[in-house]
Structure 1
Amino acid sequence: MIWIKSGRLPKNNGVPWRGNSGLSDGSDAKDVKGGLVGGYYDAGDNIKFHFPMAFSMTLLSWSVIEYSAKYKAVGEYDHVRELIKWGTDYLLLTFNSSASTIDKIYAQVGVAKINGSRPDDHYCWNRPEDMAYPRPTLAVSSAPDLGGEIAAALAAASIVFRDNAAYSKKLTQGAATVYKFARQMGHRTPYSLRQPDIEYYYNSTSYWDEFMWSAAWMYYATGNTSYITFATDPRLPKNAKAFYNILDFSVFSWDNKLPGAQLLLSRLRMFLNPGYPYEESLIGYHNATSLNMCMYFPKFGAFNFTKGGMALFNHGKGQPLQYVVANSFLASLYADYMEAANVPGWYCGPNFMSTNDLRAFAKSQLNYILGDNPRKMSYVVGFGKKYPRHLHHRGASTPKNGVKYSCTGGYKWRDSKKADPNLLTGAMVGGPDKNDGFKDSRNSYGQNEPTLVGNAGLVAALVAITNSGRGVGVTAVDKNTMFSAVPPMFPAAPPPPSSWKP
C-alpha cells in the first residue's frame, strides 16, 4: 500500500517512483504542530478523507488481532503493523490527542469541487509528489460518526501494539478522548451534513453504528465495563435499527459498521458467554450476525449476483469489490469463530449451513477477483497475466521523468492510451459492472480506480481465507489476544476455608 501513502517516505520504500508528498498538508491548521503530514491518500486522487482512512486501519487491525499467526507465516506481520502505525500516527494528529476533552476534529485534507474549474485535487492531474495547488484542511465540531470511527481505529490498534506499552497507551488515551467527543450530547450532527466537500464523496448515513462499533473496540482495548454496558444497552440496537432486517444494513462497509459491530460483540458471547446483564443484547447481535451470513448465499435471494458470480452488495453501483472483500472477511471470520467454538454451522430457516459453506462463499468471491470470472481478468494489478493497465490513478499514469507537470499539463497522461508507466502492484481496482463488464480506462473511475478502503478489505479477506499458518479447531483464530484487557466476567472463587482443628 506504499502507492497510496502520503508524507515523508523512507528511502527504501520499495517503490522507486514514489517519493515525499503532502509535506505542507495542514499548514493552515495552526493548532497542529507540524501540520497534518502523513496518512494515506484515498484513491486515484490525492485527497485524505479521514473517515474511510480510519475504517481501513480498524479493519487491518482486526485482521491482525485474529490472524497474527497467518501474517507471520506469510512474512507480512511486521509489514502490516507498519502500515497500521502509519495510519494511526496520522489519525492522532487529526485532533488534540494529548487532551482529555476536545471540541473539533480535522475531517480531511484537500478538496474537489464537482465540475470545478479551479485547481484542486480533482481538476488537476498530478503525481502527489508534484502537487502545487491549494489543499485546505476541513475541521468539524460535530462528528459522532467520524469520532467513533477514529476511536475504533485507535482502540483496535492499541491491541495490535500491546507489545509496545507506551504506544499502546498513547493509542488508548487518544481513543478515549475522541470517543468522548463523539458521544457528546448536543454534538450529534453527522460529520458530513451540509459539508459539500465531504457529502458527495463519503456521506455518513448514521452514527449509531459507529457508537456500537467504537464501544465494542473501546471495551476490548481497555476492559472498562462502561463501554460494554453501553454497547449492550437495548436502546442502542433499537436506535441503530440493528434488528430491523433492513437489507442494506447487513452489508459491512466504511459507512455501515453494523455487521462488523454485531460480529465483534457476538465474539464475546461465543467465547466468554458473560450472561446477565449483557445476554439480551448479545444474543440479539449473535442472531443478527447469523442472519447477515444467510444473506450472502445466492440460494436465499437476498442480493443479486452477476452471471459470473460476483455479489452485488451495492446493487450494481461503482466500486463493487470493496463491498465484496469486506463482507468476505466477515464470512471467513465468522466461520472461524464457529470452528473455534466447536460449532459446525447454523440454520438459515430450515436450511443447515456449515462453516465450509461460508468459507466457500468467501473463496468464490476472492477467486472471482483474482481471475475466475467471465473475462478471465484479475482485478488485482500485477496478479496473473491479464489485469488492468490504465488505472484511474494520478501516480500510476504519470511517469517519473524529471518533469513537474502543471495542474492541467498532466492531462496528457490522464488521456493517454498507453499503459501505466508505474505499476500499482497488488492494488485492487473498483471492479466490474453488474453484467461482469469492465472497461480498462482511466476515465472509468467507478471500475478502474483503486481505493484505500478496498485494498485494506482485500488484505483482511485474503489473510482470513488463506491456509498458510492456519490453526485448526480452537486455534482457528487467536481467541485470547482480543480479550487481554477484559477483566474476569465472573467474581473470583472465594479462598478455601482454613483447615479444621478440633
Structure 2
Amino acid sequence: MKKSALFFLLITTLFTKDFDYKEALKKNLLFFEAQRSGKREPDKYIYKLSWIKSSATKDGADHHIDLTGGWYDAGDYVKFSLPMSYSASMLGWGILLSPKTLKEIKAYDYALSNLKYALDYLYKTYIPKKNLKNDIFFYQVGDPNIDHNYWMPAEDIDYERKSFFCTSKLPCSEVSAQTAAALAIGYAVFKQKDYKYAKKLLNKAKRLYLFSKTYQGNEGYKMAKGAYDSSGFDDELAFAAIWLYLTTKDEKYLKDAMEFADKLDKNSIYWPLNWGDKDNAVFLLLAIVTDLPMYHNLVQKHLNYWIKEARRTKGGLVFADKWGSLQYAANLAFVALIYANYVPSKELAKEYREFAKTQMDYILGNNPRNFSYLIGYGKNYPKNPHHANAHHSPFYDMDKPENNTYELTGAMVGGPKSFNDLDYEDNRKDYIGNEVSTSYNAPLTGIFIELYQLYQKKDKK
C-alpha cells in the first residue's frame, strides 16, 4: 500500500467527529444573499439578511441598459460573469441533486431564490439582435483598476460604473458558453415550479450557446485579465452542450459536447474543477450520460490521483494551490460524491464518499486547528474575512473598525496557504487565505445535500 493511501486511512481513523451537514448547507446559502448587487426587492426574492441593502443601482447606465443585479464575486465589488455563471451552474446542479431533500429541510425556496437572483442578471447580459453576428454579450460590470480601490459599504456605490462586452468579432467564448450552461441548468431547476420562466431561460441558453459556438475565441475577454484569466474555452463549450443535451434531449448537443471534449488534454486531468477549468466536470457528465469506458477511466484516473497519490497536509487536506486551497478540496469532494452514484464498483463508490467526507469534515473543523473554515458554523471560525461589505467601514478604511461589523455567515474562506495546516490567519488583509468567493461556495450546496443524505438523514429516522 502506498504511503499516501495508508496516511488517508490513518487520518480517517484518528479524527472522527460528527458534523451537522444540514446546518452547514443552510448557512452556506446565506452567503449567496450576502453577495447580491442591485436593488433590494423583497417582493421578488427572499431576504434573510437585513444588512444587505440596495447597491450599484446604476450598473449598465454607461450603455443605456439595465445591468443591475447579480452577485459580487468575492470581497470587493466587481461583477465578473465567468465566476458568477460558474457559481450559478454549480448551485443549480446542487439543487438538482435532491429538490426533495431541500424541501424536507425547508431550504428549497431560499435556494431557488438565490439562484434566480443570479440567473435574472445573467439573462440580461446577453442581448440578441436580428442577426446572430450582431449579438452583444456583457461579461463584466466594474473596472478592477477602479472598484478594487474602494473599501466601503456596498450601498455607497452610487456612481456610474463601467461595463464591458464582447461581440462576434471580439468574442469571449468561455464566459458566454458558461453563461449558456447556467441558463440551461436554470431551466432544469425551475421547469416544475415556473415553466414560463424556465422556458425563457432555455431559449436564451440555446441562442447564447449558438453564438458562443459560432464565434469562438477570447479576443474580447480583456478586462478580467489578472483576476479571472482565460484558460481556454473548449471545456465551457462542452459543459454548455452537455447541459443543453440533458435539458432538451437533442442529440446534436451531445455530439457537440463529445467533440469539444475530444479537444481537451487527456494527459493533464489532475487539476481540480474550478471556475476556470471544467474538464473534469465535462468528463463526469459524459461518463454519466454515455456510460462509455473512456470517460469513466478519465474520472477515475482524476480521483485516484487525488485520493491515493497526491500529497496532503498532516491534517489530511488535499492541497492543490495556495490561493483558495479549500475550493479545490471542495470541488474534488463534489466530483467524488456525484461520481460515486454512478461508478460500477461499490468499493470505489465507498472510497470516493469517504474521501469527500474527510475533506469536508476538515473544512468544518476536523483539522489540527479545531477550526471551522465555514463562517458561522461551530464555535471557532473566521471573524474578519476579506470582505468590504461585511467590514462595512464608514471610514472607507480596511483597518477601521478593528473587527467586521457583520458576520458573513455561510462563507467559506480560502484556507491554509501551504501544506502547513496552521498556515492560515484570520486577517482581513489576507486575500489569498482569508477572502471569500461565490466560486468557493459554489459546490457546497450539492456536497452538503449528498453528505446529509448519506451520513446524517439516516441517523434522524
Normalising by structure 1, we get a TM-score of: 0.79
Which residues of 2 match residues 1-12 of structure 1 at below 5 A?
A: 1-11=32-42
Aligned partner (choices 113, 128, 142) of residue 154 of structure 2: 128
Aligned partner (choices 371, 390, 398) of residue 392 of structure 2: 398
CA distance in 2, matches of 1:100, 1:156: 26
8 Å Cα contact 1:155-1:171 kept in structure 2? yes
Higher relative contact order (CA 8 A, sep 6+): 2
Residue 313 (structure 1) aligned with residue 337 (structure 2): no
1:285 alignment counterpart: 295
Structure 1 window deviating more from structure 2 (457-466 vs 421-430): it is: 457-466
1:94 alignment counterpart: 125
CA distance in 2, matches of 1:296, 1:369: 17
- CA shift in 2, pair 1:284/1:378, >3 Å: same
2:229 alignment counterpart: 203
Q: From the two aligned structures, give the one with the greater helix fraction.
A: 2
1:485 alignment counterpart: none
Residue 254 (structure 1) aligned with residue 275 (structure 2): yes
- Deviations for 1:455-478, whole angstroms, at most 9, x for unmatched residues? 122222212221279999xxxxxx
CA distance in 2, matches of 1:59, 1:331: 14
CA distance in 2, matches of 1:449, 1:150: 24
2:348 alignment counterpart: 354
Classify the secondary structure of the residue corresponding to 2:164: strand
Give structure 1 regions of 4+ aligned residues with deviation exceeding 3 angstroms.
97-100, 468-472
- Deviations for 1:331-390, whole angstroms, at most 9, x for unmatched residues? 11111233xxxx333xxxxxxx52111111111111111111111111111111111111
8 Å Cα contact 1:62-1:156 kept in structure 2? yes
- Deviations for 1:405-426, whole angstroms, at most 9, x for unmatched residues? 4xxx311xx1137321201111
CA distance in 1, matches of 2:360, 2:261: 31
Aligned partner (choices 231, 236, 239) of residue 213 of structure 1: 239
1:386 alignment counterpart: 380
2:20 alignment counterpart: none
8 Å Cα contact 1:73-1:468 kept in structure 2? no
8 Å Cα contact 2:97-2:449 kept in structure 1? no
CA distance in 2, matches of 1:469, 1:79: 23
1:418 alignment counterpart: 402
Classify the secondary structure of the residue corresponding to 1:69: helix
Structure 1 gaps of 5+ residues are 114-119, 271-281, 346-352, 400-404, 473-502
Aligned partner (choices 170, 178, 181) of residue 200 of structure 2: 170
CA distance in 2, matches of 1:359, 1:104: 43
Which residues of 2 match residues 291-302 of structure 1 at below 5 A?
A: 291-297=301-307, 299=308, 301=309
Task: Kindly provide the amino acid, as one letter, of the partner of residue 70 in structure 1.
Answer: T
Structure 2 gaps of 5+ residues are 1-31
2:180 alignment counterpart: 151
1:67 alignment counterpart: 98
8 Å Cα contact 2:37-2:69 kept in structure 1? yes
Count of equivalent residues: 417
8 Å Cα contact 2:53-2:155 kept in structure 1? yes
Task: Kindly provide the amino acid, as one letter, of the partner of residue 27 in structure 1.
Answer: A
Which residues of 2 match residues 322-337 of structure 1 at below 5 A?
A: 322-337=327-342
- CA shift in 2, pair 1:383/1:171, >3 Å: same
- Which structure is larger by alpha-carbon Rg, 1 or 2? 1
8 Å Cα contact 2:55-2:158 kept in structure 1? no
CA distance in 1, matches of 2:334, 2:218: 31
CA distance in 1, matches of 2:374, 2:39: 26
1:456 alignment counterpart: 442
1:41 alignment counterpart: 72
Which residues of 2 match residues 78-89 of structure 1 at below 5 A?
A: 78-89=109-120
> How much does 1:217 deviate?
0.6
1:494 alignment counterpart: none
> How much does 1:97 deviate?
5.2
8 Å Cα contact 2:275-2:439 kept in structure 1? yes
- Deviations for 1:43-63, whole angstroms, at most 9, x for unmatched residues? 110110001100111111111
Between the aligned residues of both structures, percent identity stands at: 31
Residue 377 (structure 1) aligned with residue 371 (structure 2): yes
Task: Kindly provide the amino acid, as one letter, of the partner of residue 409 in structure 2.
Answer: T
CA distance in 2, matches of 1:418, 1:60: 33
CA distance in 2, matches of 1:190, 1:283: 36
Normalising by structure 2, we get a TM-score of: 0.86
8 Å Cα contact 1:51-1:150 kept in structure 2? yes
Task: Kindly provide the amino acid, as one letter, of the partner of residue 120 in structure 2.
Answer: D
Task: Kindly provide the amino acid, as one letter, of the partner of residue 393 in structure 1.
Answer: H
